[in-house]
Chains A and B, each alone.
Chain A
Amino acid sequence: MSTSSFKYEKANRSLMERLFEPPAIGKMSPVAKVVAYGLLAFWSLFVIFPIYWVVITAFKDAAAVNQGPFYIPFVDFQPNLNAWRIHLSDPNCDLYAIGRQFVLLAYNSFAFIISPIVDIGAMEPQICRVYHAFTNSLVIGIASTALCVTVGSMAAYALARIQYKPKFGNAAIFVLLTLVMIAATSYAGIPWYVSSAVALALFFLMARAFGKHFKSTLGNGDILFWIISQRILPPIVVIIPIYMMFQAVGLLDTHLALIIVYAVANLPIVVWLMHDFFASLPVELEESAQLDGASRFGIFWDIVLPLTRPGLAATTLLTLILNWNEYLFAVFLSTARAQTMPIMVAAKNAGEKGILWWEMCAIIVVMIIPVIIMAIFLQRFIARGVLLGAVKG
C-alpha cells in the first residue's frame, strides 16, 4: 500500500469527502450531522406532540375543541380551567368529603375483614369520583407494588442462593389433582372449598407417600424459568377464572382483588430483574455474616437488600408505573368502589354528547405527570436490567 494513496492534508480533500467524512475523530461529517439532527428533531416532535396536544386540550373548553384545531394557548384560544373545575367543583370534592371518605375506607376495610364472622355491610360513600379514583389507584398501586417487590425479591434471592430440588413427580401430582378438583367443582357441583381442601390434603398425603420414590428433580433454573415464563401468559386467559374466584369469595370490586392480581402479574418481572442483582453480589459477604451467626432473614435484610438498593428502587418504580397504567384487569375486577384512574378516563368516552375530550385530558394529565418524572430516573436502569438478562441468557 503506497503512502501516496492516502489523503492527507485537509485542503486536498474533494467536495464529496468534505461532505461525507468527519472533519476529525469524535465529530460527524456535515451530511451526517444534518441528517442526524434532522431525524432527532423530527422524532422529538413526534414524541412531544401528542403529549402537548393532551396537555393543551385539558385547558380547552367544548368550543375550543369542537370548532376545529387550535394550537397555541393565548394565541389561538384562551385556555381556561373548565375541565378541571368540572372535576374539582363536584360538591363531593371538598376537604370534608375527602376526610369522610378516608373514614369510610377504613370502615369498609374493617367490614370486609370481619365479614366471615358478622356481616355489618359496607357503606356506599358519596364520593368525589376523581379523588376517589386517584386514591384507589394510589392505594392499589403502592400496596400491590409493596407486595410484589417483597414476595418477588425474596423468591429471587432464594433462587440465587439456595438450592431447591422439587420433585418432578410432585409437580405432576399437583397438576393432576388440580384438574380433578376443577372438574369436580364445575361438573359435579361440589362446593369449591370442599374440593380444594380435599385436593390439598390429598396432595400433601401423596407427596409424603410417593415423594421419596420420585427420582427426577427440577433445579433452581427450572423454577426461575417457570416463574419468568408466566409473563407469556396473556391476561385474558386467566381473567375470567380469576373473576369467578373473586366472585366466589366476595372480593369483586375490592382493592384487595386488584392488589393481588397486579402483584402476581408483575411478579415475573420483579423476579427476573432482582435475580440478576442478587446473583451478581459476592457471596462471601453473606457467608461471613452466616459465620457471625446472622439468620437468613437477617442477612437478607441487613446485608443483601442495602447492597441492591438502587436496583430495588428502580424495580419498585417500574412495578409502580405498570400498576398505575393497568387497564384490562381493572375493567374486569372493579366497577365502582375500586375504580382506578384508567377506568375513569375510559368512562369519559361514554358521554351522550360524544367524548368529553377536555375532561378526559385533564385526568390523563394528572395520570402522566408523576410517571414522566419517574421516567427520568428509570431510563438508565431498565436498559441495564435487560442487558444483564440478555447477556446471561
Chain B
Amino acid sequence: MTSTTTYQPGNSPAGLFKARSWGEWVDHHSRTFFIAPAVVLILIFAIFPTFYSIVFALSRVRFRATGLQFRFVWFDNFIAQFTGNEQAHFLGRLTGMSFVGWIFALAMTALAIWWLYRSWQNRTHWIFLVGRLISAAMFIFIGWILALTLLSGNPWGTMMTTLFYVIVGCSIQFVIGTGLAFLCSQPISGKNFFRVLFFIPLMITPLGVGYAFKMVLDITKGPLQPLWDAIGLQDWAWSTDAWAARWFVILGDSWQWIPFIFIVMLAALENVSRDQVEAAQVDGASSVQIFREITWPQIVPVAVTVILIRMIEAFKIVDLPNIMTSGGPGIATESMTLHSYFLWRANDMGSSAAVAYLLLILTVVVCASFFNYVVLGQLRRAK
C-alpha cells in the first residue's frame, strides 16, 4: 500500500523522510496505523477462518491425541449433502415428482432461461452474463427442489427451511413493518410512545424472545390456554406439526425484527418533503393517491435496502429454531446454521463445514442477486 495521502507534505518522498521523534514517525505512518488494525483483525478472524473452513469441508476430520487429523476427500462432504445419505436432511426427500411439480419446475426453468436469453440479446457484458448465469442456476435449482418437495408432498430439508424463513419471514416483516410505519406517520397522538414501544423487541436477546414465545404459546400452561381449550387443541403441541412449528418460529422472528423495518421505514416516510405532500393535497389527491404516487416511489430505495439488510441477517437464523423447537419436529424447523451446529456436536466436522459453506454460497448468491437486480436498479433510479 504505497501512495501519497491527501495531506502528506507532497515533496518529501518516504525514503528521504527522517523522523525527529517517535511521535513524528507514528504520524508519518498514520495512514497505515489507521486502517491496519481493522484489516488485520478481519484477515485473521474472518478471511483466514473462511479459507480454513474449506479444509474442513474437503476433509474427513478425526480427533487424535496429537490434535486433529485431516484426510483429504475431495468433495465427498458436499456430494453427501446433495446425493448421499444426508440428502434428505439437506434438500429433503426427493422421491417422485408430482404433476404440479413438473409444471412448476419446467415453468421456473423456462423463465430463467428466457431471462438469460434476454440478457444475451441485450449484449450484456460477459462478466454480468456470468453473474446472471449463476443467479439463474440457483433459481432453477431452488425451483426444482421446491417442486420435488413441497409440490410433490415430500418433506423438505434445511435449505428450503432456511429459504422459507428468509423469504416468507422477510416478506411478512416488511409488509407489517411498513404498515406500522405508515400508521405512525399519520397524524396520530402518542406518536413517540408508539415509536419507542414498537422498537423495543429488536433490542431483546433472541434467546429471550425464543423462550418468551415458547411460554406464551404453551398449550397447557401458557396464557392462551383457555383459547386452545375452547378450540379443542388442548392435547396438541407445536412440536408435532411441521408447518405449525415453522410458523411458530416465524412468529417469534417477526416479533423481533418487525421493529427494524418499522423504524427505518418510518424515518424514510418522515423524510419525504412535506411540501410535496401538501402540494399534492392542494392538487386534489386523496391520501391513498398521495401514498401511491408521491410517498412510495420516494421510499422504495430505502425499502429495498432495508430488505437486503434484513435478508442478510435472516440467513443466519439459529437461536429461535434452536430454542423454540430444537429444530423439530424431526428436522422441520432446522435452519442451515442449526444443521451445521448439530453436525459439529456429532463430531462430524467435515459435513458441518460443508453445510456452513453451502449456507455461505446460498446467502451470497441470493443476496448478491437481490442487490444487483433490485437494489442497484432502485438506487440508480433515485439518483
Contact = CB atoms under 8 A, between A and B. Distances in A.
Contacts of B357: 237
A377 to B, nearest CB: 10
Interface in A183-208: 183, 186-187
B53 A240 contact: yes
A227 B38 contact: yes
Interface in B71-108: 72
Interface in A354-393: 357, 360-361, 364, 367-368, 371-372, 374-376, 378-380, 382-384, 386-387, 389-391, 393
A179 B281 CA distance: 63
Contacts of B216: 49-50, 53
A300 B337 CA distance: 40
B187 to A, nearest CB: 5
B197 A48 contact: yes
A47 interface: yes
Interface stretch (A33-41, A84-92, A96-104, A306-314): A33-41
Contacts of B260: 382
Given A155-B39, A234-B363, A379-B263, A44 B194 contact: yes
Contacts of A231: 312
A267 B199 CA distance: 23
Q: Tell me if A's interface is mostly helix, strand, loop or mixed.
A: helix
A238 B34 contact: no
Interface string A266-293: 0100010000000000000001001000
Given A36-B186, A40-B194, A368-B205, A154 B34 contact: yes
Size bracket of the A interface: 35 or more
B200 A372 contact: yes
Interface stretch (B10-18, B110-118, B128-136, B221-229): B221-229
A357 B260 CA distance: 28
Given A186-B59, A236-B340, A244-B52, A297 B26 contact: yes
User: Interface extent on B, as a size class?
Assistant: 35 or more
A27 B287 CA distance: 12
A163 interface: yes
Given A233-B50, A342-B205, A162 B42 contact: no
Nearest to A196: B48
Given A69-B225, A71-B223, A245 B49 contact: yes
Interface stretch (B140-148, B236-244, B302-310): B302-310
Given A66-B221, A151-B38, A234 B215 contact: no
Contact of A47 (B2, B24, B54, B197): B197
B55 A234 contact: no
Contacts of B306: 386, 390
Interface string A152-167: 1011011101111111
A328 B34 contact: no
A158 B31 contact: yes
A334 interface: no
Interface of A: 25-28, 32, 36-37, 39-40, 43-44, 46-51, 53-54, 57, 65-66, 68-69, 71, 151-152, 154-155, 157-159, 161-167, 174-175, 178-179, 182-183, 186-187, 211, 223, 227, 230-242, 244-245, 260-261, 263-264, 267, 271, 287, 290, 295-297, 300, 321, 324-325, 327-328, 341-342, 345-346, 349, 357, 360-361, 364, 367-368, 371-372, 374-376, 378-380, 382-384, 386-387, 389-391, 393
Interface of B: 1-7, 23-24, 26-27, 30-31, 33-35, 37-39, 41-43, 45-56, 59, 68, 70, 72, 179-180, 183-184, 186-188, 194-209, 211-213, 215-216, 220-226, 255, 260, 263-264, 266-268, 271, 281, 301-302, 305-306, 309, 312, 315-316, 318-319, 323, 336-337, 340-341, 344, 349, 352-353, 356-357, 359-360, 363-364, 367, 379, 382
